Amino acid sequence: MIVELVFGVVVNFIVWVIDRLPSGSVPDWLGEGGYLTTVWTSAAGLGAWVPWTLFTSVAVFVMGAAALSFLIKLGRIILSLFTAGGGSAA
Amino acid sequence: MNRRLTRVVLALLMVPVVLLASSQTAHAANAWHQITMQPVLPGYPDAMKCTANVKYADDAQSLYFGAGSVCQGIPDFSPGYLQSGEPGSTFKIDVRGDAGGGSPCIGTESGTFGAHPNDSTMNVVSTFGGFHVETGPHPLGCEVLEVCITLDGTVYGGDGGDQPSLPACAHVDLGEPEITQGQCIHGDVHGIELIPNQQQRVGSTTVTDYWWSVRVYLNNNQGADGSWDKWRVSKSTSFSTDSTLTGVSTGTRTLTFELAKTGTATASNDAAAKLAASKPTSLQIYALDQIRNTGTNYDTSANVIASVYPPANPEGAYRGLTQPPLCRFYYGTKLVDFPNTSADDPGTIDVLPPEDEPTAEPTVVTTNVTPDDTGTDNSLLSLLAGLLRLILAAIKAIVGAVKALGTAIAGIADAILDGIKDFFVPDNGFMNSEYSEIRDAWEATTMWRYVEEVETMTSGNVSGCNGVPLDLTLAGGVEVHQRIGAACTGTMASVASVVRMVISAGIVVAGTFAVIRIVGAGFGWAPGVGRGADA
């Protein structure tokens, strides 16, 4: 009951923040047949030179590391509130 | 410079180390565990204490109870007064567990308590065990979670009357069972023969019977002295149009032969002609006790150890025998059905008592009170024994009342704990519901649509080698059609391969450094790896 209450408040807050984000459609240059797709398709022809698949995999991995780092830092900031006046995660 | 080089080498070494570490899987062998169950007799909460040694059988289809398991009761001062758990009385074992994916598995076994040297009219001590409780067949075995024992109250006097005990259960954690890999025939087939046979009946002038014999010569290293033995297994039967020949036993292995096709029998009455016409053209040999067990997927085709007669490719035809990963014993649901043999039935390989059972006997408490069944007619001794019996009965009643009070208090404490748990632990599905709420909100945003478009765009094949198309019309109407960076064949392909390898290494190293820096930043650590002059 307590956990449900706390989670409910947190989730509602997160949803409220997300609802503030724009919810329009993507621009034409990003959609199917757009400029970016054309560039990407052309770049795909250079697959013999550039390991695109490895590149995107590493990029995703780095982004995941960034998300993990953010969560770690957030956790440290929250924990620092309970150190009786000591410490800072900033 | 040296430090930077060291960092690069360390970063590159991380990749195989991580891969090796993640590929290791711990395998714990099935081991003995000691469990304790305390059956409750009416009026006597702690009347008995049963200690048992249990372990998974090697086929993980049953739970083995060691022969050294013991039940000990409270002092029994009156023959006929407390007989539950006595040698000669009966009991029932219930085993419950998980057969994988939440599918339950259960097993039940009844037995009779055996004698123990410490058992007397003063103390109930009895032995049990030396049996296994079947919980299968299940392909992944049965992960045992609970073991219960119920004592039959054969001659139980006192307040409870003649009735069995309440089931006493032990919540056990034996871990997931490990199905022991069966022995393979670590050898090879070095010969297959089809032998024509004819038989002339006594008193007859013509050959009337004919048949084929199959002989398989195996090199096998299962000999008692570890040397290589040669086996010759054979099976002869009369067949002219039959297509199968089953049930050939090698003693410890059972092979099944299948004639995929036989020749066409002639209309001739000459057995020799029939024999020649019925010569098998294809022969398959199965070793049904070596069906590969790969979890929920079974592959019977891997058991074809020789597929063609005569073998067209002797080296490649016998893989089923010599590849240990393919030789796991077959348990679980029956896969194929050969009515004339039991070779296709699920096997058990550990029905005999294991020899490595640890000593499980608890400390048996004895009470040095002279029993009253000595046969001596001594009125003073009988009077003292009766008096002692009354005193001890009164003590037992007081102890029982105190324990009942303790049980009631414990019940209140449990109720309070349950209430606290209900107060904090969310309902099932609550977290999924909250997660779905966030996900739905996120998927309605423009940011998610950006991500979705990029994901769709990059999910296609990006390994082309045709280069970037360049189409131009120069002054004077000269058209130029080129593909910049095309490297599908020739020297350009070789150069592209080298460049691709260098770029790949650069991406891996740069990505590794980036991850170290980013994650380190989360901990407030600012490593200088991959940077230039910070060392």
For B339-371, give the DSSP string: TT-STTSPP----SPPS-PPP------------
Residue A87 counted as domain residue = yes
pLDDT, mean of residues B452-458:
78
B85 torsion bin: left (phi>0), alpha (psi -120 to 50), beta (else):
left
Cβ A70–B522 below 8 Å, yes or no? yes
Residues of B in contact with A1 (CB under 8 A): 422-424, 426
In a shared domain, residues B109 and B139: yes
Say yes or no to pLDDT of B43 above 80: no
Residue B509 contacts A where some CB pair is shorter than 8 Å: no
How far is residue B4 from each of residues B14, B105, B502, B526, B533, measured CA to CA in Å?
A: 15, 59, 18, 16, 10
In a shared domain, residues B77 and B168: yes
Helices (H) and strands (E) in chain B, counts: 7, 22
- CA pair distance A45, B366, nearest whole angstrom: 88
Alpha carbon of A40: minimum distance to chain B alpha carbons (Å) = 8
Residue B37 has a CB neighbour count (10 Å cut-off) of 20
pLDDT, mean of residues B67-88:
70
Structure tokens at A53: 């698949």
Residue B129 counted as domain residue = yes
Alpha carbon of B16: minimum distance to chain A alpha carbons (Å) = 16
CB A65 within 8 A of CB B513: no
Domain range for A68 is 50-90
Q: How many domains does chain A have?
A: 1
CB B440 within 8 A of CB A19: no
pLDDT, mean of residues B152-169:
63
Residue B397 counted as domain residue = no
A55 vs B447, B461, B507: nearest CB = B507
In a shared domain, residues B165 and B222: no
How far is residue B164 from each of residues B41, B89, B90, B154, measured CA to CA in Å?
A: 7, 11, 10, 8
Structure tokens at B175: 């871990």
Name the domain boundary from B300, B335, B367: B367
How confident is the model at residue B95, as a pLDDT?
95
Q: What is the pLDDT of residues B53-77, one digit of tens each?
A: 998 876 677 888 988 899 887 655 4
Residues of A in contact with B526 (CB under 8 A): none
In a shared domain, residues B194 and B313: yes
- CA pair distance B177, B193, nearest whole angstrom: 42
Residue A42 counted as domain residue = no
ipTM of the complex: 0.72
Name the domain boundary from B343, B367, B391: B367
How confident is the model at residue B511, as a pLDDT?
93
In a shared domain, residues B136 and B196: no
In a shared domain, residues B224 and B310: yes
Task: Tell me the average pLDDT of chain B.
Answer: 64
Residue B205 counted as domain residue = yes
Domain range for B278 is 188-326
Residue A11 counted as domain residue = no
Q: What is the pLDDT of residues B469-488, one digit of tens each?
A: 777 887 777 787 777 888 88
> Which residues of chain A register pLDDT less than 70?
83-90
Q: What is the pLDDT of residues B171-228, one digit of tens each?
A: 988 888 876 543 333 344 444 555 555 555 555 555 555 555 555 554 444 434 433 3
Alpha carbon of B146: minimum distance to chain A alpha carbons (Å) = 30
- B window 429-448, beta carbon within 8 A of A: 430-431, 434, 437-438, 441-442, 444-447
In a shared domain, residues B45 and B171: yes
Residue B401 contacts A where some CB pair is shorter than 8 Å: no
In a shared domain, residues B172 and B214: no
- A window 9-38, beta carbon within 8 A of B: 11, 14-15, 18-19, 21-26, 30-32, 36-37
Tell me which residue has tokens 């600012």.
B526
Residue B462 contacts A where some CB pair is shorter than 8 Å: yes
Residues of B in contact with A14 (CB under 8 A): 438, 441
Residue B451 contacts A where some CB pair is shorter than 8 Å: no
Residues of B in contact with A21 (CB under 8 A): 445-447
Residue B289 has a CB neighbour count (10 Å cut-off) of 25
At residue B444 the predicted structure's pLDDT band, cuts being 50, 70 and 90, is confident
pTM of the prediction? Answer: 0.36
Residue A83 counted as domain residue = yes
B515 vs A50, A56, A65: nearest CB = A65
Structure tokens at B352: 């005999």
In terms of average pLDDT, the best of B98-102, B109-113, B351-355, B487-491 is: B109-113
Residue A64 counted as domain residue = yes
Residue A81 counted as domain residue = yes
| Secondary element (H or E) of residue B31 | none
How far is residue B460 from each of residues A62, B251, B258, B464, measured CA to CA in Å?
A: 21, 57, 48, 11
In a shared domain, residues B265 and B294: yes
CB B210 within 8 A of CB B239: no
How confident is the model at residue B46, as a pLDDT?
67
Q: How many domains does chain B have?
A: 3
Residue A28 counted as domain residue = no
How confident is the model at residue B503, as a pLDDT?
93
Alpha carbon of A9: minimum distance to chain B alpha carbons (Å) = 10
CB B11 within 8 A of CB B512: yes
In a shared domain, residues B261 and B307: yes
In a shared domain, residues B150 and B223: no
| Secondary element (H or E) of residue B257 | strand B254-261
In a shared domain, residues B117 and B206: no
Alpha carbon of B12: minimum distance to chain A alpha carbons (Å) = 15
